[in-house]
Structures are given as C-alpha cells and as structure tokens.
C-alpha cells in the first residue's frame, strides 16, 4: 500500500454502551467555546466531543454524548454536528455554539441498529445514515432523514455498513465489513454504491490493496474515493474500482505512535487527518490526531496521548451566510425535481 501507518492485527473495538437517549438530552457536558470553522472535531468512544486547533494541536472539550460508540461525524447545512447514538441508533444534532443535543430521528428504520455501524452523511438538506440489524442474517440499511425528521428507506440488503458518503451525482457510497450481492459473498467487505432513487446496489471495489475491512470513506474533490482500513488509506477509481496507494510521505514525525486507525477526513489541501490510538488495552486507549500529506510530511497534530479512544475526526464547517437557507431550499427543490423526473 506504499507508506501507511501499520497497526496491531487486532481490530477489536470495545464499545461502551450505557444510559440512553434521554440522558443525551440533559447530560451534555458544558463546553468551553463554540466550534470554530476550520478547526477539527473529534468524537471518542467515551462520548467526548473535542475540538482541536490544527495549527497548535490544542484540544478543547466541546460536549459529550452517553453512547457515541464508534459513530462517524458529519455536519448539516447549518454547520451543526451530526452524530449517532450508539445504543439506540438515533440520529442526533449537536448545536455548534451551545453543544445542546437534539434528537432528529429515532426508531422505525433505525430501531435496533448496531453500535458498530453508525455512518452519517449530509446530502443537501437531507441526512443519510446507515443501520445494521444484527438479528441473523445481518441486514444493512441506508435511511434518508429529511428536514422534518421523517425517515425514508433507501436500500436494504445483506451487508454490514460502517460508513457512508455521497458522490457529486448523488450516488451513495457505503463501506461494509462483509456483504452478499448477486449470490456472491465478500467476507472481507469492501465498498458498495447505492442508487439513491432505486436502492440498487453494486460493488465498487473489494480486496486488492485492502488489508482489512474498510471502516471509513471520503470522496475527494476530484471524485476519487478514499477508503480507510485498519492499516491505512487506499484510493479507489470511482469508475473502474481499481485501487492505488497514496504517494508515501517524505518525512514521518518520530512522535507518531500508532497501533490502531479509526477515522479520517480530508483537509481540503490534498492531505488528510487521521484519528489513531496506541497501546490498545481494555476498553479505552490513548490516542491522537495525525496529519498526512501524500508526498509530503506525516506529522502529529496533537500529542500522542492527547485523546482517549478517538474514533473519528471532521473539519468544522462554517454556518451558512445570510440568504444561504433560501439558496439551500432552491437547491433542495431542484434535487427533488431531478428525482421526480428521473426515469423509473
């Protein structure tokens, strides 16, 4: 795979599940500062939301959740945080200024979703989430949650989703730990593409350079798909599914100490940030944020043990400018029109 962060063979995440959604509504910890656009936000298995200054590596507690349990992070159109409740599968919004937690959707198609399959992504004014129903055989779902909080089932099949992203044309990408499609079993998982209108599934890629089941996915500005597995980042051609390795960095910070990779996000400048852990023991582990520039430097953004059990990182997005809600409404109307006019 070229240069990557080698990690321990064990990928046994130990998720802490306690409390419930009601606790989330009243138990958010006081935060020091509102989120700053351009900073990083990290979510941990312990439910901590921590902001990170990417220039200095300083960390600031922002808020907390009772059951983050491996949830991916995303931001909605207003610049607020989207995250999942690991015990109930509920979709939660965390206010970017106050850290107040509000449930957007719970139950129905999200009921019984597994704490280890909690992908979330924004698609215009809607939010797309994954759900895994663990009663055998394992059933994976992609659910669209609209602005009113109503749920709409997009797809359902024999797959075990871990993360979700949206391509420029609206196609949905889902990483899966394993899946069955057209009577073919892919035990080591890979990447599925789901038609947002029909729910039809197709395989984008599997195997090749992937050394383990993929756990996160991003779409780069040029359309290339970036996957994260336990060993590092793999690039995927969106048309052919052919995998390639990012160029190796020319230098590696000696402070980087990694046994486990858990999440990543692009930095908007050709590099990416990774959440990583080391000395993995029991249910919690010390961890950090690392920045990697392919063909450049791999450096520690935070101190090696600055975080406890980090599982994902996202770049904080700005709130929309005045007038942006009107533009967003127009864009959403156009998207609905496109889907209504699409041939069945």
Higher pLDDT, 338 or 145: 145
Report if residue 248 sits inside a domain: yes
Say how many C-beta atoms besides its own lie within 10 A of residue 56's C-beta.
Answer: 9
Mean pLDDT score of the chain: 82
pLDDT of 133: 81
Sheet with 310-315: strands ordered across: 59-64, 48-52, 40-44, 310-315
pLDDT of 160: 87
pLDDT in tens, 123-170: 999 999 998 887 666 789 999 999 999 999 999 988 889 899 999 999
pLDDT of 183: 86
Would you list the DSSP string of 93-109?
A: EE-TTT--EEEEE-SGG
Rounded to two decimals, the pTM is: 0.83
Domain carrying residue 97: 21-341
pLDDT of 121: 95
- What is the distance between the alpha carbons of residues 236 and 218, in angstroms, rounded to a whole number? 10
Report if residue 1 sits inside a domain: no
User: Which pLDDT band, with edges at 50, 70 and 90, does 29 fall under?
Assistant: very low
Report if residue 69 sits inside a domain: yes
User: Which pLDDT band, with edges at 50, 70 and 90, does 177 fall under?
Assistant: confident
pLDDT in tens, 245-282: 999 999 999 888 888 899 999 988 889 999 999 887 66
Tokens encoding 280:
């993995």
Q: Which of 11-15, 31-35, 145-149, 174-178 has the lowest mean pLDDT?
A: 11-15
Element containing residue 1 per DSSP (H, E): none
Report if residue 16 sits inside a domain: no
Residue 15 has pLDDT above 50, yes or no: no
Residue 224 · residue 236 · CB < 8 Å = yes
Report if residue 74 sits inside a domain: yes
Report if residue 297 sits inside a domain: yes
Report if residue 135 sits inside a domain: yes
- Quick one: the chain helix, strand, coil %, rounded to 5? 10, 40, 50
Report if residue 7 sits inside a domain: no
CA 325 to chain centre: 25
CATH number at residue 64: 2.120.10.80
pLDDT in tens, 52-75: 999 999 999 999 887 766 688 999
pLDDT of 70: 67
Would you list the DSSP string of 267-285?
A: -SSS-EEEEEE-S-BTTB-
What is the torsional sign of CA 114, 117, 118, 124? negative
**What total of structural domains would you count in the chain?**
1
């Amino acid at each position: 795979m070229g240069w990557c962060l080698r990690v321990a063979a064990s990928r046994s995440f130990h998720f802490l599940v306690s409390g419930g959604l009601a606790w989330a509504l009243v138990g958010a910890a006081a935060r020091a500062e509102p989120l700053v656009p351009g900073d990083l936000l990290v979510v941990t298995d312990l439910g901590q939301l921590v902001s990170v200054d990417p220039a200095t590596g300083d960390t600031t507690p922002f808020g907390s959740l009772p059951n983050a349990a491996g949830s991916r992070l995303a931001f909605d159109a207003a610049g607020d945080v989207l995250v999942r409740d690991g015990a109930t599968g509920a979709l939660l919004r965390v206010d970017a200024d106050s850290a107040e937690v509000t449930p957007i959707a719970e139950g129905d198609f999200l009921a019984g979703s597994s704490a280890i399959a909690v992908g979330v992504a924004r698609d215009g004014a809607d939010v797309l989430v994954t759900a895994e129903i663990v009663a055998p055989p394992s059933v994976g779902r992609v659910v669209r949650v609209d602005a009113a909080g109503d749920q709409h089932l997009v797809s359902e099949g024999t797959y075990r989703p871990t993360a979700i992203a949206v391509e420029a044309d609206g196609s949905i990408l889902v990483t899966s730990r394993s899946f069955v499609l057209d009577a073919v079993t892919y035990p080591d998982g890979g990447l599925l593409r789901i038609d947002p209108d029909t729910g039809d599934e197709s395989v984008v890629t599997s195997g090749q350079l992937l050394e383990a089941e993929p756990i996160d996915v991003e779409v780069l500005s040029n359309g290339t798909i970036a996957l994260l597995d336990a060993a590092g980042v793999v690039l995927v051609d969106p048309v052919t599914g052919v995998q390639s390795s990012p160029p190796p960095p020319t230098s590696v910070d000696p402070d980087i100490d990694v046994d486990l990779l858990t999440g990543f996000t692009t930095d908007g400048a050709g590099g990416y940030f990774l959440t990583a852990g080391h000395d993995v023991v029991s249910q919690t582990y010390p961890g950090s944020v690392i920045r990697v520039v392919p063909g450049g430097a791999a450096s520690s953004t935070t101190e090696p043990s600055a975080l406890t059990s980090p599982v994902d990182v996202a770049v904080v997005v700005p709130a929309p400018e005045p007038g942006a809600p009107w533009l967003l409404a127009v864009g959403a109307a156009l998207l609905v029109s496109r889907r209504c006019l699409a041939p069945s």
